[in-house]
Amino acid sequence: MPKFARKAGVFFIRHRLQVVFSIFSLLIILFVLFPLAKIVFLSDKTALWQSLKDITVIKSILLTLYAALITAVIGFILGVPFAFILARYDFPLKGVVDGLINLPIVVPHTAAGIALLFVFGRNFLLGKWFDSIGVHFVDSLAGIIIAMLFVSVPFLVNSARDGFRKVDVRLENVARTLGASPWQVFRRVTFPLAWRSILAGTLMMFARGISEFGAVIILTYYPMVTSVLIYERFASYGLTQAVPIAAILIIICALIFIGFRLFLQRDKKRD
């Protein structure tokens, strides 16, 4: 047996678990990346350029990013306090509440859109009330935002909750013994120590909002976010018109995640 083959055999025997798990990991990576890469790199470059110059596509992308950003801000304002309560306080049915916040993740998003329609539609209680003050959720930016918020806020809450749980309670207690108020402890101790998890959850919420389709199309077909526009172009014209827009959206999402990872890595090196 050749020397190289013997060494390879010895390595495999010693590191069987690592080798097997690495193979499975590679399969998952290829399963995720290959379809996305094929859309991006094998798209018709002329069609891709035409889509980038299409005012409808540009408006749709800007609308999607704008709505997802507003959604992330609202989720941050409401979700961070909720995550802190879940991490620090005990109350009746806490386990149930902790589980319910994840319900939008498992509920089919078309069903989520119908559920939101039954609450915020013009013929229903909250919809009528908001309609009386000039706020409409059907076929409007507000409808896009609540659809995105409903399906994406669990990502922020879960990440922020886990971040708060990692903060040593003893550090908070020391700050209180030094005379800090609960708000000062949160602002100067707890939040700074959990900010990476909060930022990660906020970004996940932002990205999930960008990709949302099911709930948005039920509640707000117009104005079209990019995911709905891709569906509309596919249904009307086929893959030729849908693929370039999908490629653009994939590139935008990839740039967001790569930028975020680079930022976190650089920040960790500073620490």
**47: part of which helix (H) or strand (E)?**
helix 45-53
Torsion, Cα of 258, 226, 60, 222 (10° steps): -150
Binned at pLDDT 50, 70 and 90, residue 79 comes out as very high
Mean pLDDT, the chain, as a whole number? Answer: 86
pLDDT of residue 131: 82
pLDDT of residue 270: 61
CATH number reported for the structural domain that contains residue 142 in this entry: 1.10.3720.10
CA nearest 194: which of 161, 157, 169, 172? 161
Q: How many domains does the chain have?
A: 1
Peptide bond into 108 cis (omega under 30): no
CA nearest 145: which of 116, 171, 174, 105? 116
Between residues 231 and 267, the one the model is more confident about: 231
Residue 208: inside a domain: yes
Residue 36: inside a domain: no
Mean pLDDT of 135-144: 89
Binned at pLDDT 50, 70 and 90, residue 148 comes out as very high
71: pLDDT strictly greater than 90: yes
- Number of separate helices (H) and strands (E) present in the chain: 15, 0
Binned at pLDDT 50, 70 and 90, residue 267 comes out as low
CA nearest 79: which of 170, 169, 194, 181? 194
Mean pLDDT of 157-166: 94
Residue 226: inside a domain: yes
Sign of CA pseudo-dihedral 256, 258, 259, 261:
positive
pTM of the model: 0.85
23: pLDDT strictly greater than 80: yes
Mean pLDDT of 27-34: 87
Residue 24: inside a domain: no
- Please check whether residue 138 is in contact with residue 122, taking contact to mean a CB–CB distance below 8 angstroms: yes
Give per-residue pLDDT as tens, 81-112.
Answer: 999 999 998 888 888 888 888 888 888 889 99
Q: What percent of the chain has pLDDT over 70?
A: 92
Query: Distance from CA of residue 159 to its chain's centroid?
Result: 11
Q: How far apart are CA 64 and CA 61, in angstroms?
A: 5
Binned at pLDDT 50, 70 and 90, residue 160 comes out as very high
Residue 246: inside a domain: yes
pLDDT of residue 8: 54
Between residues 110 and 264, the one the model is more confident about: 110
Sign of CA pseudo-dihedral 76, 77, 82, 84:
positive
Residue 228: inside a domain: yes
Q: How far apart are CA 223 and CA 156, in angstroms?
A: 26
Mean pLDDT of 44-57: 83
Least confident range from 11-15, 65-69, 74-78, 128-132: namely 11-15
Least confident range from 35-44, 156-165, 171-180, 227-236: namely 35-44
User: Domain span at residue 135?
Assistant: 50-270
pLDDT of residue 52: 81
DSSP SS3 for 90: coil
Torsion, Cα of 89, 94, 98, 103 (10° steps): -150
157: pLDDT strictly greater than 90: yes
Residue 148: inside a domain: yes
* Structure tokens belonging to residue 111: 């069903």
- Please check whether residue 216 is in contact with residue 231, taking contact to mean a CB–CB distance below 8 angstroms: no
Residue 120: inside a domain: yes
